[in-house]
A and B are shown apart, each in its own frame.
Chain A
Amino acid sequence: MPEYESVIGLETHIQLNTRSKIFCGCKADSWEDDPNVNICPICAGLPGVLPTLNKSVVEKAVLLALAVQADNILPISYLARKNYFYPDLPKGYQISQYAEPLARGGRLIIPSADGEDRVVNIEKLHIEEDAGKTVHQNGKRLIDFNRCGVPLVEMVTAPDIRSADDAAAYLIQLRRLLRWLGISEADMERGQLRCDANVSIRILGEDSLNTKTEIKNINSIENVRAAIKTEVKRQIQTVEAGQTIEAWTLGWDEDTETLRKMRSKETEADYRYFREPDLLPIRIDEEWLLEIKSSLPELPLARQKRFTLDYGLPDYDAAILTEERSLSSYFEATVKLSAGDPKTISNWVMNDVLRLIKEKKISAGGLRLIPKYLAEIIEIVESGMITRGTGKELLVNVEDKGKTPLELVELEGLAQVSDEETLKSMAMTIVDQNPKQVATYKAGKATILGWFVGQLMRATKGRADAKIVQSIFQELLDNDGDLGS
């Protein structure tokens, strides 16, 4: 059997997170709202209504085009009508873009563990309106228009992806980028990022494009991976059995983890595209483009790389810290406010701050533990004023109570007990009160030393340096409870 490679192109639909819909003033986000509440004459397709284009939709789409290094952001692009009958499409046409999309060309880089980054070329990017939802319930077909007119960006890749894993990695990168840019929540489960995959196979080494199948509406990254793997396997089996691949449209059934052929529509799709006469062309002049460009942040991969160079972080750390824009900015702000070692700060952020963020379900930018406070905590831990353990608790306390670290140290007397005389007298008391344990130690069970340390740590609420405490006890017990003077 020859070796095959898969040829995959992804068509993604990205819900932009604008406040209002693309062509009307209705609220765009209807998550958990009742059906048909966020509708108006315009998005419900009433007779006589007209669309008006939301400026923010263009800006967010252009931002994405810039972020994927689009070769051509068209100075004039057009909205077009895609005509077809479907009950979730109240006008009987979708306002989309066709021959003149917002942007053409571009690329998304997928970093890979083997160090060989893959480049996925973007063919085009355009804006369009979302359709409503159809639901099956009690044997009825029910229509909800809330989602009608929610802004979408359609981004289509070239057939550059060679494995199901790379397809998943592409989506992970895309999701990271969208959230980074702040243009979409990109939650696949909520349909904010949707994916269709075009899949074909060929014998490794050939560069022909064979008949492809289209897998529609896959709703999670894991499902994308599974669906593509299943389809590639099916295609190889089909070809090996001497049969030909037909250009089917397939649906992924999540429950049974199988692909199923979708019945073709009654009429072969003839969308009769033409320019939307109700809207003027979209003009993106130099001035506007510059304005949008100026709001383009440093992108995740660039920042990741810079963190390794500027701060000497391991690539692993840099990747985690730049997973999300707010976290990466948080880290960097802390570094700038602190005299400490970036790697130490990275450890704090990756462990303690990240845990806090996950627990509280907020972003780094929303923490009351602002970078300044984290820098202070790290500093007083490093200086020995408080123990590492106290530092970790303090961090949570700052977040919960909204007070500064130094206030809390003062208020709760958290400063480390570093006065050796105090520690010694406390240790003596413990030795005096526990003759049984002293006898055990004398009998040669040296491990009980830890128990003595623990007692003192408990007495100081952990504010003592365990190493010092241990040496005090050792001396005391070895010298028969008599500290040499």
Chain B
Amino acid sequence: MSEELCDLSATEISRRVKNGEVTAEEVLDSTLQRIRLVEGRRPSTNPYSPEGDDRNKVHAYISLTEKRARLQARAIDDAVKAGEDPGPLAGVTLAVKDIFCVHGTPTTAGSKILENFISPYSATSVQRLESAGAITVGKVNLDEFTFGSSNESSAFLPPVGNPWDPSRVPGGSSGGSAAAVAAGEAVLSLGTDTAGSIRQPAAFCGVVGIKPTYGRVSRYGLIAFASSIDCPGPIARNVTDAAIALQIMAGSDPFDATAAALSVPDYFSTIEKGIKGMRIGISPDYHKLKFPDPKTGEMCEQSVDEEIAEALSRVLDHLTNAGAEIVENVAMPNTRYGVPAYFVISRVEAASNLHRYDGVKYGYRFDGEVSNLRELYRKTRAHGFGSQAKLRILMGMYVSAEQYEKGYYQRALKIRTLIRNDFVNAFNPEGPYQLDCLLSATTPTTAFKIGAIYGNSVSMQYADLLTVPANHAGIPGLSVPAGVDNAGLPIGIQFLGPDFSEANLLRIGRSYEKASADEPWRRLQPKVLHA
């Protein structure tokens, strides 16, 4: 399949649109054409069973906003004709994870409870990207309220298929985002990362995803899961595109008190500068993984997949050749507590954040007979939420209810500090390791089959084992593709750095990207493009 406009990088598209080589509308049409080719039937909340070519298609979009997109595209083309600056993302198509509010569009969070909600306002990130010339093509699927790591918990089915093998999951919760970008159904996507929800699907779909430092990007308009750890971030096909998007999204926001009042460095002034002399660490705690057996609770130990480990060692070679110094055996002893601590913190916050969905103000309201308000609440929530949302509500209630609460939440918050201390120690310029970043696999395995883990909430959560510590610590992480396994499934690696070190991570990522440009897997295309 020849390269279409929709396959170009954001940099290239905006260059061509700006100088009039192509119009934004042509880029949009190319993207819509690709969507028609690979999407398959539109996901819905109707009862679902797989049929026809469901398992050969991507099903990334919950809704397309074609009319709105066309207006945006024409406005950009008009600006170009009028000699005005259409912005750094001129004509770049954007798939917005359906957890962000976009004014005038259905914003569902992948849940039946918001199926009919039309947002009266736009998220800060969306508004900034659109102001920079990005064209929102539609809203992409996700795990319901981002509760999952496979996209299977969405109320909108068929589930998203991984473009590299649609019988497999794209990862989650930003699975629709990663899949859409990988399949050329958008040039950029806006995702969120609470336990790995940008990095894990980016890794599964062979694209780049960055989870910025907590507070680097405003959360305004991002429908909350775990407010103290949620992070919006971009997904792109290369590091430079991710940098452009982040550059635009980042920065303080009068609508988010937790957005850091810290100026955003120019990522492009450093991105090509290489990594000579940088200290990059690897840790055995990110290789040998401990997790409880979901049935018995017995602790098991397992290493990351061998093929992923091999990919990682090839990455190390490239980095060494590029002049970095590799620091081995970095001790990150609290890594294994990331998931259990997350089970507590995220559930307490999620249960509270889900209180507002009660059928009164917006979204789904139970339409049968009810005798009183309480019953309306119960019936609305019972029918509106899927089982993963219910699980999070119930666990949140248990670990915070007065009579059962045994200091779970306070204890988990302290463990969050322990996890952070591991990173603080690793990055401390006067500490034992003095790292610029820590490198690990993004995921212990490559994309698993649809249905293989879904339903087992403990195993599913442990898919985030390698990603969740950065969320607890609040630090940034960049996942980049680093090869494919024998089944042709993408492998991802992540660079984790100190607070607000995105510029460095992008520089390292870019450096690795250049160093590995000639590897044969770089020329592979997702399977759906050959169908």
Q: Is A348 part of the binding interface, using a Cβ–Cβ cutoff of 8 Å? A: no
Q: What separation, in Å, do the CA atoms of A46 and B358 have in the docked complex? A: 12
Given A83-B355, A274-B348, A274-B352: A48 and B223 interface contact (C-beta under 8 Å) = yes
Q: What separation, in Å, do the CA atoms of A34 and B254 have in the docked complex? A: 28
Smallest Cβ-Cβ distance to B101: which chain A residue: A48
**Interface residues of B, CB < 8 Å — how many?**
46
Secondary structure class of chain A's binding surface, majority of residues: loop
**Interface residues of A, CB < 8 Å — how many?**
29
Q: Is A45 part of the binding interface, using a Cβ–Cβ cutoff of 8 Å? A: yes
Smallest Cβ-Cβ distance to B221: which chain A residue: A48
Are B358 and A85 closer than 8 Å at their CB atoms? Answer: yes
Q: Is A49 part of the binding interface, using a Cβ–Cβ cutoff of 8 Å? A: yes
Q: What separation, in Å, do the CA atoms of A266 and B354 have in the docked complex? A: 20
Q: Is B523 part of the binding interface, using a Cβ–Cβ cutoff of 8 Å? A: no
A52 is contacted by which of B257, B374, B400 (Cβ under 8 Å)? B257
Q: What separation, in Å, do the CA atoms of A279 and B121 have in the docked complex? A: 21
Query: What's the least CB distance linking B57 to chain A, in Å?
Result: 29
Given A266-B374, A270-B402, A274-B348: A49 and B220 interface contact (C-beta under 8 Å) = yes
Q: Name, among A85, A91, A277, the residue most crowded by chain B CB atoms within 10 Å (CB to CB).
A: A277
Q: What separation, in Å, do the CA atoms of A330 and B401 have in the docked complex? A: 56
A280 is contacted by which of B119, B258, B354 (Cβ under 8 Å)? B258
**Which residues from chain A contact B374 at a C-beta distance below 8 Å?**
85, 266
Q: What separation, in Å, do the CA atoms of A279 and B119 have in the docked complex? A: 23
Are B121 and A41 closer than 8 Å at their CB atoms? Answer: yes
Are A53 and B257 closer than 8 Å at their CB atoms? Answer: yes
- Tell me the B377-403 residues at the A interface (CB within 8 Å): 377, 397, 400-403
Query: What's the least CB distance linking B107 to chain A, in Å?
Result: 7
Are A92 and B362 closer than 8 Å at their CB atoms? Answer: no
**Which residues from chain B contact A44 at a C-beta distance below 8 Å?**
361
Query: What's the least CB distance linking A286 to chain B, in Å?
Result: 21
Q: Is A278 part of the binding interface, using a Cβ–Cβ cutoff of 8 Å? A: yes
Query: What's the least CB distance linking B345 to chain A, in Å?
Result: 9
Smallest Cβ-Cβ distance to B111: which chain A residue: A47
Q: Mark B84-121, 1 if CB is under 8 A from A, else 0.
A: 00000000000000011100000101000010010111
Q: Mark B199-238, 1 if CB is under 8 A from A, else 0.
A: 0000000000000000000011111101110000000000
Q: Name, among B120, B228, B360, B377, the residue most crowded by chain A CB atoms within 10 Å (CB to CB).
A: B360
Are B352 and A47 closer than 8 Å at their CB atoms? Answer: no
- Tell me the A11-67 residues at the B interface (CB within 8 Å): 41, 44-53
Are A47 and B114 closer than 8 Å at their CB atoms? Answer: yes
**Which residues from chain A contact B401 at a C-beta distance below 8 Å?**
270, 272
Are A274 and B400 closer than 8 Å at their CB atoms? Answer: yes
Q: Is A143 part of the binding interface, using a Cβ–Cβ cutoff of 8 Å? A: yes
A92 is contacted by which of B255, B348, B356 (Cβ under 8 Å)? B356
Given A87-B373, A143-B360: A279 and B352 interface contact (C-beta under 8 Å) = no
Q: What separation, in Å, do the CA atoms of A41 and B122 have in the docked complex? A: 10
Are A46 and B121 closer than 8 Å at their CB atoms? Answer: yes
Q: Is A141 part of the binding interface, using a Cβ–Cβ cutoff of 8 Å? A: yes
Q: Is A191 part of the binding interface, using a Cβ–Cβ cutoff of 8 Å? A: no
Smallest Cβ-Cβ distance to B413: which chain A residue: A275
Given A41-B121, A90-B361, A143-B360: A50 and B255 interface contact (C-beta under 8 Å) = yes
Q: What separation, in Å, do the CA atoms of A49 and B322 have in the docked complex? A: 44
Are A45 and B356 closer than 8 Å at their CB atoms? Answer: yes
Q: Is A81 part of the binding interface, using a Cβ–Cβ cutoff of 8 Å? A: yes
Q: Mark B105-147, 1 if CB is under 8 A from A, else 0.
A: 0010100001001011101000000000000000000000000
Smallest Cβ-Cβ distance to A134: which chain B residue: B373
Are A272 and B219 closer than 8 Å at their CB atoms? Answer: no
Q: Is A441 part of the binding interface, using a Cβ–Cβ cutoff of 8 Å? A: no
**Which residues from chain A contact B109 at a C-beta distance below 8 Å?**
47
**Which residues from chain B contact A143 at a C-beta distance below 8 Å?**
360
Are A47 and B355 closer than 8 Å at their CB atoms? Answer: no
**Which residues from chain A contact B409 at a C-beta distance below 8 Å?**
274
**Which residues from chain B contact A81 at a C-beta distance below 8 Å?**
352
Given A277-B228, A279-B258: A47 and B400 interface contact (C-beta under 8 Å) = no
B258 is contacted by which of A45, A90, A278 (Cβ under 8 Å)? A278
Given A81-B352, A141-B373, A143-B360: A51 and B257 interface contact (C-beta under 8 Å) = yes
Are B352 and A92 closer than 8 Å at their CB atoms? Answer: yes
Q: What separation, in Å, do the CA atoms of A143 and B377 have in the docked complex? A: 15
Given A49-B221, A87-B373: A279 and B114 interface contact (C-beta under 8 Å) = no
Q: Is A248 part of the binding interface, using a Cβ–Cβ cutoff of 8 Å? A: no
Q: What separation, in Å, do the CA atoms of A85 and B351 have in the docked complex? A: 12
List 6 other contacts, CB 8 Å, given A50-B255, A53-B257, A83-B351.
Answer: A44-B361, A46-B120, A47-B117, A85-B355, A90-B361, A270-B403
Interface pairs (18), CB distance under 8 Å: A41-B120, A44-B361, A46-B362, A47-B119, A47-B357, A48-B99, A48-B221, A49-B221, A50-B219, A50-B256, A85-B377, A91-B356, A92-B358, A272-B400, A272-B401, A274-B348, A274-B352, A277-B227
Instruction: Identify the 8 closest CB pairs spanning chains A and B, nearest first.
Output: A92-B355, A277-B228, A277-B227, A272-B400, A47-B223, A48-B221, A48-B223, A92-B356
